[in-house]
Structure 1
Amino acid sequence: MAILTVPRNGPDNAASRPEPQDGAHFDVLVIGAGISGISAAHALQTKCPGKSFAILEGRDSLGGTWDLFRYPGLRSDSDLYTFGFSFRPWTEDASIADAASILNYLRATAEAFGIDRKIRFGQRVVSAAWDTSEARWTLQVEAGEERIAYTCGFLYVCAGYYDYAGGYRPDWPGTERFAGPIVHPQAWPDDLDYAGKRVVVIGSGATAVTLVPAMARRADHVTMLQRSPTYIVALPARDRIANWLKARLPGPIAHRLARWKNIGLSILFYQFARRKPEALTQRILGGIRKQLGPDYDVGKHFTPRYKPWDQRLCLVPDGDLFQAIRTGKASVETDTITRFTEDGLELASGKTLSADIVVTATGLKMKLMGGVQIRVDGVMLDPAERYLYKGMMLSDVPNLAIALGYTNASWTLKSELTADYVCRLLRRMDRRGKAWCVPRRGTATGDAPLIGFTSGYVTRARDLIPKQGTTSPWKLHQNYMLDLAGLRYGRLDDGAMVFGGRRTDTRRAA
């Protein structure tokens, strides 16, 4: 057996990388140069133009997820009119876009707004310590063999919520006997040749349903082996209404209308799913039967045991997964693995699957705040013991915000609202001459998991992520319209947020 892993480094940016300056102070430090980090930077330089800031990125290129993952078929599972930035319209015809197009869009956006010049690549934040007496954070950062210290008044973590070092793979009996490669999508080898090969993809989530039709175009056959089914919805890769608008209206107006149209539809779809789950289930299954025909066993292979949106729905653009199944290039097996053999897998039903390559699309590992160790006045912080205020700040932790996107809509929508709210806080502190702001835990009521999904990557991380309360501002709405009202227009002095300290002059970055 060969388990293939490769390093995931992007293009070498050493020539343009700012030289690290030990002891540099910034008004704001942003951790992470993905979608959230770019949103944060744009908001800071347009809404708080007097603030000094920098982005610390542990990898050697921007883009986050879209630069890290390299597996075949990688694409968005949200429309680009909402997944793209509100301040830079998505102009391509495809609404569901491939990874290369998204990464080019992120790079072009960062360059167009000068955000790329704010990024310090190859600098991984190890720890951050808050000192109330000085009203500042001190960060310890690894930059190759160097250890660098930065300070800042406000820390903004835009590192996502999963572990970039590696994904989740269960331990199956006999993997050491398998003669072919076992590959996890998070560490996809550039030289993996699957043309004419028999491939088994283990999993049924978003990664699996993306990989199967993409690999089926060149492989001899691809089998999606799932322990249990997932809800899968086919949608057009191109948004005909959005393209109609773009053909008839000025670009910014067309983009704004398309964006709001898709925001509204996603909210209505989610609300319908929560209120009428049985009805939505029948509509989804009816669509699959229409794709695969009356003789296909939709009940076994495409009917989950849970309600819609208890886990994230999977999107297949233009029904590509179903097309691959119809042509015989792909198939689905719903069973559990007994053991690996030299040339495949034995299943609990007694069936064997022959394979030259096995892909373990078995999920991610969650890691909040990029694994940065947080201390507040010398006390180590356990995020799982904290409540999340307005979906972005930890209870009783001053001057710290976390960008977390929606689980039922585009990540970018919440990231932009969070960035706007952070700027509101910064401007409020400037007006009143305050040094810090902190949401006080005393107003939180109730106790609930932050993410209500039953997905494996969520349940495995229950003891790692913060909690939410049952009432605002501690309840996570997962609703853009409610968050828009509360974060962009709601009161900052809401009884939970406390402002304090006296601002003093601090050293500025050169």
Structure 2
Amino acid sequence: MDCADSVEHVDVLVVGAGLSGIGAGYRLQTQCPDRTYAILEARDNIGGTWDLFRYPGIRSDSDMYTLGYPFRPWRGEKSISDGASILQYVRDTAAEYGIDSRIRFGHRVVSASWSSIDATWTVQVIAHGVETELSCSFLYLCSGYYSYESAYLPDIAGLGDFSGQVVHPQFWPDDLDYEDKKVVVIGSGATAMTLVPSLAEKAEHVTMLQRSPSYVMSLPSRDPIAKRIRKYLPDKISHRVIRVKNTVTNLGFYQLCQRLPGIAKPVLRRLTKYHLRDGSTVDPHFAPSYRPWDQRMCLVPDADLFKALNSGAADIVTDHIDTVTEKGVQLKSGDHLDADIIVTATGLRLVPAGDVEFMIDGETVDLARHYTYRGMMLSGVPNLALCLGYTNASWTLRADLASLYVCRLLNHMRRGGYRIARPISHHDASPQPLLGLTSGYVARSESILPKQGSRSPWLMRQNYLLDLPTMRFGRIDEAMEFD
């Protein structure tokens, strides 16, 4: 296929102007200054997740020294920060480095077609309601792995009979009045645990209704050790030191949970009991049946969830829904939860590769049949990378490694005169789910997501200290074909 002259061409096309996309832009213009690039953003604003989610209390679920960029120090007072501050940080970063001038807002990527003859991706885009095309030599998807257009909502019997308002956190209305109202939040993940203490400040009462409990851990929103380090060291140096400290600490805790759950579980139990006025509520509300970190740990800053429970402004109910009634939620235990507002914090709907459809030389690509290469490329798929973060640590730690690797690959191709880089086709006798968590939102999507293999470079290791040398200095040509 010969690309028409009317189709604009760039060397690298980045999809998504959130935390990952802005980081990718910085790496491309500093590591590959001879390459042209553009960023396509479906929405009208920078920020991705942090611009989309507007529910009360939204905040980071990991520390900002690792969630923030390694090249631009986090200068906020709080290590666990609110969503508005994170959004401003991302936007300021884009403006400071001129990345915002490369963004095409209102450009939603629908599909992408690869031509081996031209070594080019032709990308179909809806730009402000008009269909158009762009082409690129390399396509880099920084659009995350969940749908912005729809969320996961299970089939809840009787939900349509409820006379009050039903709200999903992903689409929180700006004018929702919950003051002096009875609110039931359905869910037990990070979103529910963020909402409950925030809503409890104004609502008459908030109930978190969960089918099964999650592990919850409280950390101070302000890191006292980081404060001391920042007092004596310049911004850039202190940021690196704190980043290393937090990375090692978090990884060590994760390894403890996974390798020695018999030690980790009672420790977490004791910490939870310490924060609760009524220690008996640890069972059943904070006693999961799974091992710590088989699902993502829920982080609550300054014990705010426990404070809301202790004050009586909120409570937790562990039960199953029988049906939603006109006035609330009828439980299978026979109890009824009165409600004016029901919040369905029931999770995300995961989609592979930003829900973009792919074709290679006229044949449709089924992403679920492919293996991830170094957690960021796909077996047999040329000149395409996905930006995926860690599930057990800050997203940006791995996202930045992925962007650095893309730049290394592009520079290797330039030096070798190659137009195409393709991970070899791969088959593994022991394939594994991509994300490696047992959470419901992950398990529901295993059949549509790419797989990972049982060994490197097909295994996506959830370990920054192991990934760092491989992604920064490992062999570019391992299991990779160049043309």
TM-score interval for Structure 1 and Structure 2 normalised by the shorter chain: over 0.9
Name the residue aligned to 2:198: 214
The answer to whether structure 1 residue 47 and structure 2 residue 36 are counterparts is: no
SS in 2 for 1:165: strand
> Any stretches of 5+ residues in structure 1 without a counterpart?
1-20, 501-510
- Secondary structure of the residue that 1:333 maps to in structure 2? strand
Structure 1 residue 145: Cα displacement: 2.8
Tell me how far apart the structure 2 counterparts of residues 295 and 220 of structure 1 sit (CA, whole Å).
24
- C-alpha deviation, 1:295, in angstroms: 4.3
1:217-260 Cα offsets, whole Å, 9 max, x none, are 00011000000000000000011111111111111111110000
The correspondence for 1:234, drawn from 205, 218, 222, is: 218
Q: For residue 499 of structure 1, what is the aligned residue in structure 2? A: 482
Q: Which residue of 1 aligns with 2:418?
A: 434
Counterparts of 2:426 and 2:185 in 1: how far apart (Å)? 48
Q: Are the equivalent residues in 1 in contact too, given 2:352–2:450 (CA < 8 A)?
A: no
405, 409, 427: which one aligns with 1:421: 405
Shift of residue 293, structure 1, vs aligned partner? 3.4
Cross-structure match for 2:458 = 474
Match of 1:318 in 2: 302
> Which of these residues, 54, 60, 77, is aligned with residue 61 of structure 2?
77
After TM superposition, give the deviation of residue 451 of structure 1 in Å: 1.7
Contact 1:387 1:394 (C-alpha < 8 Å) held by counterparts: yes
Tell me the distance in 1 between the aligned counterparts of 2:61 and 2:159.
Answer: 31
Amino acid in structure 2 at the alignment position of 1:318: D
Give SS of 2:192's match. helix
Which letter maps to 2:65? Answer: Y
Say yes or no: does 1:272 pair with 2:252. no
Match of 2:446 in 1: 462
2:234 to 241, 250, 254: 250
TM-score of the superposed pair, with normalisation by structure 2: 0.98
Residue in structure 1 matched with residue 345 of structure 2 by the alignment = 361
2:172 is aligned, of 181, 184, 188, to 188
2-structure distance, mates of 1:348, 1:445: 43
- Once residues 198 and 464 of structure 1 are traced to their aligned partners in structure 2, the CA distance between those partners, rounded to angstroms, is 38
Distance 2:442 2:172 in 1: 23
1:370-411 alpha-carbon deviations (Å, 9 max, x no partner): 111001111100110000000000100000000000000000
Pairing partner for 2:356 from 357, 362, 372:
372
Could you list the per-position Cα deviations for residues 344-380 of structure 1 after superposition, in whole angstroms to 9, with x for gaps in the alignment?
1110000010000000000010012111100111110
Whole-angstrom CA distance in 2 between matches of 1:357 and 1:126? 36
Match of 1:506 in 2: none
Please give the alpha-carbon distance, in whole angstroms, between the structure 2 residues aligned to 1:97 and 1:462: 31
Q: What is the aligned-residue RMSD (CA, Å)?
A: 1.1
Match of 1:508 in 2: none
AA of the residue aligned to 2:95: E
Residue 434 of structure 1: CA displacement? 0.6
Question: Which residue of structure 2 aligns with residue 132 of structure 1?
Answer: 116
Q: Distance in 1 between matches of 2:134 and 2:449?
A: 26
Equivalent residues in 2 for 1:192-203, closer than 5 Å? 192-203=176-187
1:9-57 C-alpha deviation (Å, 9 max, x unpaired): xxxxxxxxxxxx9510000000000111011100000000000000000
Q: 1:452 aligns with which of 411, 421, 436?
A: 436
CA offsets, 1:276-332, max 9 Å, x none? Answer: 112111111101111113543212110001111110000000000000000000000
Change (3 A) 1:133 1:295: closer
Partner Cα separation in structure 2 for residue 219 and residue 109 of structure 1: 36
- Mapping 1:26-425, distance limit 5 Å: 26-293=10-277, 295-425=279-409
Q: Secondary structure at the match of 2:151?
A: coil
- Deviation for aligned residue 1:78: 0.6
CA contact (8 A) 1:444 1:471 kept: no
Q: CA deviation at 1:431?
A: 0.4
Report deviation, 1:443: 7.0
Deviation at residue 173 of structure 1 after TM alignment: 1.7
Amino acid at match of 1:332: I
- Is residue 22–residue 150 contact of structure 1 (8 Å, CA) maintained in 2? no
Q: TM-score, normalised by structure 1?
A: 0.93
Matched residues, number: 479
**Stretch of structure 1 that moved more, 485-494 or 439-448:** 439-448
Structure 2 residue runs of 5 or longer lacking an equivalent are none
Q: Distance in 2 between matches of 1:157 and 1:23?
A: 20
CA contact (8 A) 1:445 1:471 kept: no
Is the CA contact (8 Å cut-off) linking 1:438 and 1:498 kept in structure 2? yes
Distance 2:426 2:129 in 1: 43
Question: Identity of aligned pairs, percent?
Answer: 54
Secondary structure of the residue aligned to 1:304 is: coil
